[in-house]
Amino acid sequence: MSSSTGVRGQGPGTRGRRSEVKGQGTEVDYLVTSESRIPEPRTPNPESQIPKSPNPRTQDQLRATNIHKSYHKGPVEVPVLRGVDMEVRRGEFLSIVGQSGCGKSTLLHLLGTLDAPDRGEIHYDGRRIDNLPAAERDRLRNHQFGMIFQFYHLLPELNTLENVLAPLMIRHGTWSYLARRRQFKCKAKELLEMVGLGHRLKHRPRELSGGEMQRAAIARALVTKPCLLLADEPTGNLDTSTGEEIIHILRDLNDRRNLTIVMVTHDRSIARQADRIVRLVEGRIAE
Ligand SMILES: Nc1ncnc2c1ncn2[C@@H]1O[C@H](COP(=O)(O)OP(=O)(O)OP(=O)(O)O)[C@@H](O)[C@H]1O
Ligand SMILES: [Mg+2]
């Protein structure tokens, strides 16, 4: 990764230090401020109860209680989560570790409202979210969550820059997006520079390496200034030094923007960069 990432030279143990990314442009400025206000939607839905900003009175930003989840393969039931209890405090950087197949991605998808638990409840900022109607879940994800998927889920027909812009297109709608397109592109390019992908803006996902797709997915997750980042093996396809740089970026966001991060990883040294590590064992959380 080039020095354009702005994190070169930050080794482990630099937690809390001022980053070199400061002052390099609008997007980077956003990344190093504590601003986390969410813009008003173009057509506010009076029905919507989704909190528009974190409630400071609620210490746990995210809480999962007695979560059960099984998959069904024909007549066979595959129990995966068997009573997960966990909470994530505001501004916390939490790692979830566990054996392959133990249900880490399943849990992250439930926390991100991409799937619903069979039993149990998930609360975000004091409000139950696992049973919200689909449109409210979509809005919650777009406005509050950033998600980095284990298998990236980039849209194959869009290039790197367009993939990163996609959440902003969804959030703002066509006309508002077009009116601010230049500003958004600038923001997306700066994020792609930050993850070392400024030279691959026009590449489609099939023309990127695994690590490059992963970095594009990271930029996409950050472009909406999320309040909560759910990251599934965000360094799983990266070489050690690029992986460390990505973790330094995440830690920096955690330190400076108070971005709450829940990260799944199988890499012990990566997991140790978090404030707290929990282990998923036999469908439950063991601290
Ligand atoms: N759609 C599905 N249908 C049936 N079984 C599934 C489905 N999705 C996941 N599983 C099973 O659920 C279990 C948990 O899967 P999950 O992807 O959550 O594991 P993981 O801990 O993230 O593993 P890894 O570390 O390898 O990514 C696995 O045994 C998997 O085979
Ligand atoms: Mg997984």
Taking the CA of 77 as reference, the closest ligand is: 1
Name the residue with tokens 């975000």: 124
Mean pLDDT of 39-44: 36
Per the DSSP assignment, residues forming a β-bridge with 128 are 123
Name the residue with tokens 């442009």: 25
The pLDDT, as a whole number, for residue 7 is 30
- pLDDT greater than 80 at residue 29: no
d(CA 210, CA 223): 20
75-92 pLDDT, tens digit per residue, is 999 999 999 999 999 999
The pLDDT, as a whole number, for residue 35 is 32
> If we measure between CA atoms, which residue out of 260, 275, 33 comes closest to residue 125?
260
- pLDDT greater than 80 at residue 8: no
172-185 pLDDT, tens digit per residue, is 999 999 999 999 99
- pLDDT greater than 90 at residue 135: yes
Q: Pick the residue whose CA is nearest to atom 6 on ligand 1.
A: 71
- pLDDT greater than 60 at residue 250: yes
d(CA 280, CA 287): 9
Ligand 1: does its nearest atom lie under 6 Å from the Cβ of 110?
Answer: no
Which one has a higher pLDDT value, 54 or 225?
A: 225
Ligand 1: does its nearest atom lie under 6 Å from the Cβ of 65?
Answer: no
Q: Pick the residue whose CA is nearest to atom 31 on ligand 1.
A: 101
Distance from the alpha carbon of residue 236 to the mean position of ligand 2, in angstroms: 10
Ligand 1: does its nearest atom lie under 6 Å from the Cβ of 150?
Answer: yes
The pLDDT, as a whole number, for residue 59 is 76
Q: For residues 222 and 146, is the Cβ–Cβ distance under 8 A?
A: yes
| Other C-beta atoms lying within 10 Å of the C-beta of residue 136 | 17
Mean pLDDT of 12-31: 34
Mean pLDDT of 109-134: 97
- Domain map of the chain by residue range? 89-116+131-278
Ligand 1: does its nearest atom lie under 6 Å from the Cβ of 108?
Answer: no
Q: Is 254 helix (H, G, I), strand (E, B) or coil?
A: helix
- pLDDT greater than 60 at residue 21: no
Which strands, in side-by-side order, build the sheet including 284-286?
145-148, 228-232, 260-264, 93-97, 276-281, 284-286
- pLDDT greater than 80 at residue 145: yes
> If we measure between CA atoms, which residue out of 184, 135, 176, 225 comes closest to residue 42?
176
β-strand pairing of 145-148 with 228-232: parallel
The pLDDT, as a whole number, for residue 58 is 52
The pLDDT, as a whole number, for residue 194 is 94
Residue 103 φ/ψ region, left for φ over 0, alpha for ψ in the -120 to 50 degree band, beta for the rest: left
Tell me which of 77, 96, 105 to substitute to probe ligand 1's pocket, judged by most ligand atoms within 8 Å of the beta carbon. Answer: 105
- pLDDT greater than 70 at residue 186: yes
* Second-level CATH architecture of 89-116+131-278: 3-Layer(aba) Sandwich (3.40)
Distance from the alpha carbon of residue 47 to the mean position of ligand 1, in angstroms: 35
Tell me which of 71, 109, 268 to substitute to probe ligand 1's pocket, judged by most ligand atoms within 8 Å of the beta carbon. Answer: 71
Ligand 1: does its nearest atom lie under 6 Å from the Cβ of 71?
Answer: yes
Neighbours of ion ligand 2 (CB under 5 A): 105, 150
Q: pTM (2 decimals)?
A: 0.83
| Other C-beta atoms lying within 10 Å of the C-beta of residue 161 | 20
Q: Pick the residue whose CA is nearest to atom 2 on ligand 1.
A: 71
Q: Is 249 helix (H, G, I), strand (E, B) or coil?
A: helix
Mean pLDDT of 259-276: 95
Mean pLDDT of 195-224: 96
Ligand 1: does its nearest atom lie under 6 Å from the Cβ of 283?
Answer: no
47-73 pLDDT, tens digit per residue, is 344 444 455 555 799 999 999 999 999
Q: For residues 121 and 65, is the Cβ–Cβ distance under 8 A?
A: yes
β-strand pairing of 260-264 with 93-97: parallel
Structure tokens at 79: 């129990």
For the chain, give the mean pLDDT: 84
| Other C-beta atoms lying within 10 Å of the C-beta of residue 206 | 8
- pLDDT greater than 70 at residue 254: yes
Ligand 1: does its nearest atom lie under 6 Å from the Cβ of 105?
Answer: yes
